[in-house]
Structure 1
Amino acid sequence: MFRLFRVLASTVALTAVAGTAQADPPQLRLPTRPKQTVIISFDSAREISQWKRSRALAERTGAHFTYFLSCVFLLSRDARDVYKPPGKSAGKSNIGFAASKQEVADRLEQIRLAAAEGHDIASHACGHFDGKDWSKADWIAEFGQFEHILENAYSINGIAPEPAGWRDFARGAVIGFRAPYLSTSKALYEALPAAGFKFDASGVSQGPALPPTVNGITRFALPQIPEGPKSRPVIAMDYNLYVRHSGGFERPSKAGEYADRAYQAFRAAFEAQYNGKRIPLELGFHFTQMNDGAYWNALERFADEVCVKADVECISFRDYVARQKDGEKQTTVGG
């Protein structure tokens, strides 16, 4: 009888242990994965309506953008002679100037609001000249013109009042550059660190690539991505799609088709990284509404879908560089 009791007791104990193990299994730690980074930027940043539209897109998706500003749009026509481009007479520009003092005031307000919202204000130089043959001194002069015009934009144009802290912002906020026409040279890369820049986004790569840091400058590159029925590579920028689709001429009747092609290209490039190595994906745009706004429509559709994902971050170049400087790894998700 005593032996039978011991057997029953042992059976009950084993059952209790087994039950406990089944009810509270050890937690498995899933391998961490970096969030997929997407970096969206805009060149020239002219039209006020597009400033507002981009900021609204950022607000609803949680994104931060980089705006590469051309400083001639901070000068009214009456003030254009303030700009003195290298090797050219004062007041020359390949892209014109602001139409009026009021337009400058409106643009300055958009810049101020965007910066306050956490967006990155960067330099696209001033007159949109091809500087491939410029010397280091020429580039330093152009950067000096940009800084002077940005810092003094209110007083140059007779706009009052100047917001408190504006000059401190103008002297310290701009740490990035993208060359007009993506035209670079040895002289440019010598001038960038001398002028205090921390990143350049003028490169082009065969596909998404991690940016190297050379002489203190983090060098980003717009990737070539597959596009269209034959998946031919194209630089991931609206202007290059515009040339691919319609030869650089407006074809508004095909805007829907072009928007869908652009969206599909953006999404395929995203999915390749999202499901793969999760290398940051860079996409470039202008404020110009090419092919009746096809590429902005594609951008909004894309950002509305991916920037809201828990394991995706749509951040600026400045954000990315700041993280690297702090020695942080890409934000991770998972266990």
Structure 2
Amino acid sequence: MSRLLLSTCLSVSLLIPAIAEAADRPKQLVIISFDGAHDNALWLKSREMAAKNGAHFTYFLSCTFLMNEAAKKAYQAPHQKRGKSNVGFAQSDDEIRERLGNIWHAHLEGHDISSHACGHFDGRLWSEADWSAEYATFHATLENAWKSVGLQAPAGWQDLVDHGIKGFRAPYLSATAGADMIAAEKKAGFSYDASLVTKGPAMPVEEDGIIRFGLPLIPEGPSEKPIIGMDYNLFVRHSKGEEDTADSTEFEDRAYAAFKEAFDKQYAGARIPLQLGFHFVEMNGGAYWRALDRLVSDVCHRTDVACVSYSEAIPMIEARGKLERTSGL
């Protein structure tokens, strides 16, 4: 055998294990979600961002943004006065009509429409019955949303409301201590919950039939102090929760660096799904949405990365055999 042929064979033999190892590695999952899902301009912006990058997002909808004046007067959250909401209500029927169009088209585009309850109250002390009442209001609001503004619901809307809304995230990430919230979620037909916070990117766990996800703590800033991977938490750290457009570019760069570092660590390592959360508010002059746009534009086109919704992520995680089950006790 010639030296050239021997050298070629050795090179190929060394390359084959590396190729096999790469093929055996699971895709890096990136799960982007939005809480509130109200501002129609940001509905369009997020859908366009997803479309240009081949991504699917999860939208945790607060149902008061589908309530007109009549529904507002009738709404009463557990232990609250009638007509009260911490995030407000829709401002007009036209606004609701546009929002319904965005929700429906996002669903058709493959995004995950999920629940953020209604009036954005802290349910830490709520009972199972309290949660069930709020979930029932959410369902009824979506079921009647088109009719309430004089429109006929599109074919398939009822199926989405009855069977397609599979996930929930508690306002303020404030999950009830104990099993009350989980029990109510099961009765309401949810299959996953995304209300936890984890010390870093972590695989979800199944608790009494509900798959539980958590937003991770990720290193951020010059000191790399951990922070929840969510825009609001960055907003509070960067500017104490006060709008600061003058330093918007600096905040964007810091956020992007934190997101990218968290991604790179998993991409090069165990490939635990990276979850990041956002709101339909462009805080600090849109710094965090711009950082998000940079991240998804960078990573979602890669062949070994999948930017997916929670519902899409679940079977991919289950296929890896990485879903831990617990009784929740």
Q: TM-score, normalised to structure 2's length? A: 0.90
Unaligned 5+ runs, structure 2: 322-329
1:161 is displaced (CA, Å) by: 2.6
Match of 2:324 in 1: none
Is the contact between residue 123 and residue 175 of structure 2 (CA under 8 Å) also seen in structure 1?
yes
**2:123 counterpart (123, 126, 131):** 131
The Cα of 1:123 is off from its aligned counterpart by 0.3
Percent identity among equivalent residues? 50
> For 1:1-335, what aligned pairs fall within 5 Å after superposition?
28-29=16-17, 30-31=20-21, 32-155=24-147, 157-185=148-176, 186=178, 187-324=180-317, 327-329=318-320
- Map of 1:5 onto structure 2: none
Residues in 1 aligned to 2:11 and 2:297: alpha-carbon distance in whole angstroms: 40
Is contact 1:38–1:314 with CA below 8 Å preserved after alignment?
yes
The 3-state SS of whatever aligns with 2:319 is: coil
**Aligned-pair CA distance for 1:76:** 1.8
1:179-226 per-residue CA deviation (whole Å, 9 max, x = no partner) reads 000001122122211221111101001100011111111110100000
Distance in 2 between residues matched to 1:158 and 1:239, nearest whole Å: 32
Cα 1:23–1:220, aligned 2, differ >3 Å: closer, same or farther? closer
- Report the AA paired with residue 113 of structure 1: H
Residue 141 of structure 1: how far off its partner (Å): 0.5
Instruction: Name the CA shift for 1:24/1:246 in 2 (closer, same or farther; >3 Å).
Output: closer
CA deviation after TM superposition for structure 1 residue 314, in Å = 0.5
The higher radius of gyration belongs to 1
**2 CA distance for matches of 1:72 and 1:168?**
21
The answer for the alignment partner of 1:333 in structure 2 is: none
1:105–1:159: 8 Å Cα contact kept in structure 2? no
In structure 1, C-alpha distance between the alignment counterparts of 2:259 and 2:299, rounded to whole Å: 10
Counterparts of 1:137 and 1:285 in 2: how far apart (Å)? 29
Q: Which amino acid aligns with 1:220?
A: F
Q: How many pairs were matched up?
A: 311
Secondary structure of residue in 1 paired with 2:285: coil
Q: How large is the Cα RMSD of the aligned pairs?
A: 1.9
Residue equivalent to 1:4: none
Deviates more, 1:285-294 or 1:24-33: 24-33
